[in-house]
Amino acid sequence: MLYGVDGNFRRVRLGVAVTSSDASYIDAMREPATQLLYEMMDAVRADAITP
C-alpha cells in the first residue's frame, strides 16, 4: 500500500500468516484471514505513518 500526497509517499506492508500442517484448517481460515487483512488496511491512517 502507498500513502501520501504531493509525491511524498510512504510504503506500508501488512500481512496475515496462517500456518498449519492441516490443509483443511488453512482452507477454513482463508476468508477470516483475508477479512482481518482488509480491516488492518482500513485502520491505517496516512497521517500517522512516519518515515
CA atoms within 13 A on the CB side of 45: 2
Measured CA to CA, the distance from residue 33 to residue 12 in angstroms comes to 18
**So what's the pLDDT on residue 14?**
84
Q: Where are the beta strands (DSSP E) in 1-51?
A: 2-5, 8-11
**So what's the pLDDT on residue 31?**
96
Backbone angles phi, psi at 2, to 5 degrees: -120, 135
**So what's the pLDDT on residue 43?**
82
Q: What is the pLDDT along the chain (51 residues), one digit of tens a residue?
A: 555 556 666 677 788 999 999 999 999 999 999 999 989 888 876 666 655
**So what's the pLDDT on residue 44?**
76
**So what's the pLDDT on residue 2?**
57
